[in-house]
Chains A and B, each alone.
Chain A
Amino acid sequence: DQQVKQNSPSLSVQEGRISILNCDYTNSMFDYFLWYKKYPAEGPTFLISISSIKDKNEDGRFTVFLNKSAKHLSLHIVPSQPGDSAVYFCAASDSGGSNYKLTFGKGTLLTVNP
């Protein structure tokens, strides 16, 4: 039972254009969401997060949107740069749960072409 879904295994965009990575979740108890970026041979690094009390959070070129009614969040990268090429993981947590963990999606490989 996959509670966090990233349905696009890969995405390819041109440098300078917008990258939109999508994530859906099924557990309505999730109330905190994060995006991580992972380069080959490295651990995941935190990118941006959003609490369920918000619908948007912005940090430089990165913006995360949360649609609670649709149980959907998206990460927008504008403008995309070749250095953004990596695997992006969506993660979620339930602050009221007894098992304190992040539930991850399977990841989306983003390729930004020069």
Chain B
Amino acid sequence: EAQVTQNPRYLITVTGKKLTVTCSQNMNHEYMSWYRQDPGLGLRQIYYSMNVEVTDKGDVPEGYKVSRKEKRNFPLILESPSPNQTSLYFCASSPQALNTEAFFGQGTRLTVV
């Protein structure tokens, strides 16, 4: 089954404790991205990757890092989480960057206390 898998689905952590949210897709897609969804703000792009070893900032990259060492994986790293990073996070992949649909993971609800 074609899918985008995120882990964990739910996470509660404390301020400053580094964490990684994993994302994996099995569709051999080149393009992957991370979004966060906040009440009243819709989905906003954090980072994107056009292929292995190619990543770039989206609209709200502050406080996040990503890596793309393999085509299928695109982890999101929070080196020092803060309460304003409490949000619902979605990973997405698509076969190409433009004019195509994106497939989303089920989401990771992160709470930073």
* CB interface residues, B 31-90, toward A, < 8 Å: 31, 33, 35, 40-45, 48, 50, 56, 58-59, 90
Check B42 against A51 for contact (C-beta < 8 Å). Answer: no
Interface pairs (27), CB distance under 8 Å? A4-B42, A36-B104, A41-B107, A42-B107, A43-B90, A43-B105, A43-B106, A43-B107, A45-B104, A46-B101, A46-B102, A49-B101, A89-B42, A95-B98, A95-B99, A99-B48, A99-B58, A100-B48, A100-B97, A101-B45, A101-B48, A104-B42, A104-B43, A104-B44, A105-B42, A106-B40, A106-B41
What number of A-B contacts does a CB cutoff of 8 Å give?
57
- Residue A32 CB within 8 A of the other chain: yes
| Range, interface on chain B | 20 to 34
CA distance A105 to B106 in the complex (A): 19
Q: Contact check: which of B40, B45, B105, B106 meets A102 at CB < 8 Å?
A: B45
Check B106 against A42 for contact (C-beta < 8 Å). Answer: yes
Interface of B is mostly: strand
* A residues in contact with B21, CB < 8 Å: none
- Residue B4 CB within 8 A of the other chain: yes
CA distance A89 to B35 in the complex (A): 14
* A residues in contact with B44, CB < 8 Å: 104
